[in-house]
Amino acid sequence: MAKIKLKGLLNTYLFDPKDESSVLSPGGMGIPYKGIEAETGRTVVIKVLFRDLTENVSNVERVKRASEIKIKHNNLIEMLDFIEKDSIYHDISVFVEGTDLSKIIDHRKKQGKVFSYEESKEIVNDILDGLEVLHKNKIIHRDIDPSNIRICEDGSAKLMDFGVVRITGGKTKSLTGMGTLIGKPNYSPPEQIRGESDNINETTDLYALGITIYEMLTGKVPFERGNEYDTMQAQVNEALPFNNILSDALFDFLVKATAKQQHKRFQNVSAFRNAFNNPVERAWWQKKQMQILVASGIIATLGGSGLFFRHQHNTSIGKTNIEKANKFLSIAKYDSSKVYFQKAVEYIDDGSVKQKIEMLNALIPAMSDFYNARYKNAFDKLKEASGLDSGDADYYLGELTYNGLGTVKDYRKGWEYTNSAVKKGFGMANWRIALALENGLGIKKDKNKADQHYLESVEAIKKLAEAGDPEALGNLGGMYTSGKGLSKNEKLGFENYLAAANKGYAFVQENLADMYRYGIGTPVNLPEAVKWYTTSASKGHPAAQLTLGRMYLYGEGVYQDASKGLDFIRKASDQNYSAALSDLGYQYFTGKFVPADYRKSADYYLKAVTYDNDNIPALESLAYFCKTGLGVDKNYKEAEKYYLKAIRQDSSRANQDYFNIAKLYFEGGFGLRKDEFMFIHYCELADNAGNTVARESLGIYYNQQGTEAYRSALFNTAREYFNKAVLKGNAIASRNLKYMDQKGK
């Protein structure tokens, strides 16, 4: 793929979004790529912003102005440009060699280490210096966290993304639902979580930096609760937890830095810096007071049943199990997730956890049914899980609905399910959203939006695929095979399909069979294709049953056996699989493998469109039957209806089907009134769609009308018709006009 070229005011930038090696760590605002500045050859960072960040025009203008300020400081990564191309916005900044602070913290956590106070001072003071410059320029960062702090090779720290974050809007709903949250819930203060944009000020950034310092010093993110909603609730309502690693002085500093009420925090960088660099130890009487309180608790415990400490212990164990359960849930390890949620309710009484257990009780058997092609059962159980707030279930409901498996094929309903999955945080659903936008499935086509959703799906799909999720492996296979969202690599596509198929996923087993059949990512191997079609078909996957049936009918890769072929096709049609119903309609129409029976043919086609409005061959066949009276009563009005449905589902059919309708109106009868105006209307539509026969027919019609008008001495009317005929290429009309000119008519 050619690199995308972005033209700024002074410079041009190049990057390739399909080059996986160029992708840097994704953030909350967009996906960053390494690119180059064409004029100098230097490396830059090009962040492709998520579209919902840039929906407000005034916000985009603010960011453009921010990019023009050109703030330069040793502790800020310089913003170079802000460019719009094809309705997608790109933030361009200088690339700095180094490592994000988040990666360093994670690395130390794995080693059982944290930053000492002395180690943290240099980094924190660098960030404070950069932040002070932003605040003096009236810019609030709004997204300070370890992933936005770059530790350079010389040890200095630089703050990133100060231009992008001035956009109001983002990926995460605020706690009130009245707006969206910029920043990450783990680091965002209450005013930001509540969507109170008017209250965002310097203290907002200092709160987030306080949380970052807490994580550096303790290795813990204080309010992280395993999911965004609970994390946001904790940020708003819970006190900063004490950690034994912290000295009393540092803990007191952090309590003030992360106070829930803004007026109780440090009000500016200078006050924050002074307090951080000079932490004040508690006075002796404050320590004594704490000791007395603790002692009182001990005395109470010794004198009573110890219920308080037992409750604290149980709560801690319960929360630990919830965290584990949510982590397993995020990688589709549903059985393990359920186990830890069940352990959690042994220690704490939490209604939301009980609901998740109930949801998993529906989702786990639903997924077994889904992977083993028991689609009707899967659909019913997924509906139950969806009602219990499962984004995973919404995604799979969308997949079944888009494909017409276990339910009526309905692109619009599929779009609704998949959109709901995205809103509930199921990132893999962006893949289906992208496909729908690219192909206009239940929604208006939008290539730019499709590309954005492809990009947004990659990280989520890869995370699930690494955990061995069959659906994610199959989607990864589709992305590599098609080159959508990832650089095209048919071999990798084949390998991912094979991995998913080996996990017993019937739908992907059929995809893998296609790869062997057509030699995609692997040499053509019909015996292997037949093996995988048979495996998938034996589980009940109707698409595999239909393909295998056709192979037996025509002897492709197997000995020809029409009876066996028809049996497979009927198995698929018994599941109301539209393509199989349509195929049986064709068989009864042609009479090649079964006795010809137009009535049965029409019945199968009618049932096919009942389960899939997008079945173009069935729609056009029904239109033909209604037009000719084969198998049904002759009915031109019904024929028009089916032709129009076919056109709505696939505009490429307009060329012929509009002309078919035109001929119905020209002839009239059988429920449709003869109407020359409608004849002209549909011929014009067919002509506009490129039908040359329709164009010639209009030329002939206009010439005939002109001739009749001439004979009636309506010379002006005759000229109008002849001119229309000439525009349609009618040579006779051209001669008729010359004749009128000669006669002075």
Residue 314 domain-assigned (yes or no): no
In a domain, 501, yes or no: no
What per-residue confidence (pLDDT) applies to 17?
80
Longest dimension (CA), the chain: 125
> Does 78 reside within a domain?
yes
Per the CB < 8 A criterion, the answer to whether 59 and 78 are in contact is: no
- Supply the CATH number for residue 704's domain: 1.25.40
Report the DSSP pairing between strands 12-15 and 30-37: antiparallel
350 domain residue, yes or no: no
Mean pLDDT of the chain: 87
- pLDDT at 310 exceeding the cut of 80: no
**54 and 115 assigned to the same domain:** no
Residue 72 pLDDT grade (very low, low, confident, very high; cuts 50, 70, 90): confident
- Compute the average pLDDT of residues 303-325: 67
Percent of the chain with pLDDT over 70: 88
For residue 675, the enclosing domain spans 654-743
77: which DSSP letter?
P
Residue 225, domain CATH: 1.10.510.10
150 in a structural domain: yes
Provide the whole-model pTM.
0.58
Q: Which residue has the tokens 């200092």?
A: 206
**Is the same domain home to 665 and 739?**
yes
Considering the domain architecture, whether residues 143 and 58 belong to the same structural domain is answered as: no
Q: Is the pLDDT of residue 295 over 50?
A: no
Radius of gyration of the chain (CA): 34
Number of structural domains in the chain: 3
Distances in whole angstroms, Cα of residue 244 to Cα of each of 218, 295, 320, 592, 606: 9, 18, 19, 82, 72
Say whether 177 sits in a helix, a strand or coil. coil
Relative orientation angle of helices 562-574 and 542-554, to the nearest 10 degrees: 160
Q: What's the confidence (pLDDT) of residue 83?
A: 86
Last residue of a domain, one of 238, 266, 284: 284
Same domain, 83 and 116: no
With 50 as the cut, is the pLDDT of residue 294 above it? no
Answer with the one of 284, 307, 324 that is the final residue of a domain.
Answer: 284
> Per-residue confidence at 170, pLDDT binned at 50, 70, 90?
very low
CA distance 289 to 226: 35
Is residue 321 scored above 70 in pLDDT?
yes
Is residue 227 within 8 Å of 322, Cβ to Cβ? no
Percent of the chain clearing pLDDT 90 (strictly above): 63
Query: Sign (positive/negative) of CA torsion 320, 326, 327, 328?
Result: positive
Instruction: Assess if residue 336 is contained within a domain.
Output: no
Lay out the sheet containing 43-49: strands in order across: 4-7, 12-15, 30-37, 43-49, 88-94, 79-85
Specify whether 272 is located in the same domain as 179.
Answer: yes
Beta-strand relationship, 149-152 and 98-100: antiparallel
Task: Specify the pLDDT at position 171.
Answer: 39
Confidence of residue 437 (pLDDT cuts 50, 70, 90): very high
Looking at residues 222-229, what average pLDDT do you find? 82
Shared domain for 52 and 183, answered yes or no, is no
Q: How far lies 217's CA from each of 101, 132, 188, 244, 679, in Å?
A: 13, 23, 18, 11, 79
Q: Which amino acid is at 92?
A: I
Q: Answer whether residue 457 shows pLDDT above 80.
A: yes
Interval 361-417: pLDDT, tens: 999 999 999 999 999 999 999 999 999 999 999 999 999 999 999 999 999 999 999
Residue 182 is predicted with a pLDDT of 58
The reported pLDDT for the residue numbered 302 is: 37
pLDDT of residue 228: 74
Examine the domain organization and report whether 219 and 206 are in the same domain: yes
CA dist., res. 10 & res. 93, Å (int):
14
**For residue 36, what is the domain's CATH number?**
3.30.200.20
Instruction: Give per-residue pLDDT as tens, 229-245.
Output: 778 888 888 889 888 88
Q: How many CB atoms lie within 10 A of CB 723?
A: 14
Q: What residues contact 564, with CB distance under 8 A and at least 6 apart?
A: 549, 552
Q: Residue 25 CB: number of other CB atoms within 10 A?
A: 12
φ, ψ of residue 674 in degrees (nearest 5): -60, 130
| Residue 293, pLDDT score | 43
Q: Which residue, 540, 465, 454, 538, is CA-closest to 498?
A: 465
Q: In this predicted structure, what is the pLDDT of residue 303?
A: 38
pLDDT tier for residue 644 given thresholds of 50, 70 and 90: very high
Q: Residue 608 — very low, low, confident or very high, per pLDDT cuts 50/70/90?
A: very high
Residues 181 and 249 in one domain: yes
Q: What average pLDDT does this structure show over 6-33? A: 78
The answer to whether residue 63 sits within a structural domain is yes
Beta bridge partners of 350: none
Q: Is pLDDT above 90 for 744?
A: no
Q: Is 64 found in the same domain as 120?
A: no
In a domain, 398, yes or no: no
Q: What is the pLDDT of residue 61?
A: 56
Domain boundary among 284, 315, 336: 284
Per-residue pLDDT at 305 exceeds 60: no
Average pLDDT over residues 35-44: 91
Mean pLDDT of 26-32: 65
pLDDT, residue 285, reads 40
Are 175 and 63 part of one and the same domain?
no
Mean pLDDT of 74-87: 84
Question: pLDDT per residue over 493-550, tens digit each?
Answer: 999 999 999 989 999 999 999 999 999 999 999 999 999 999 999 999 999 999 999 9
Residue-wise pLDDT tens digits, 523-534: 999 999 999 999
Token pair listed for 705: 């009308």
Q: What is the pLDDT of residue 290?
A: 46
Output the CA–CA distances (angstroms, integers) from residue 514 to 470, 521, 571, in the order listed.
17, 11, 20
> CB neighbours of 316 closer than 8 A, spacing ≥ 6?
none
Report d(CA 180, CA 173) in Å as an integer: 4
Spatial neighbors of 140 by CB under 8 A, at least 6 apart, are 134, 165, 166, 200, 201, 202, 204, 205
Residues 173 and 227 placed together within one structural domain of the fold: yes
At a CB cut-off of 8 Å and minimum separation 6, what does 607 contact? 576, 581
Residues 86 and 123 in one domain: no
- Arithmetic mean of pLDDT, 624-651: 92
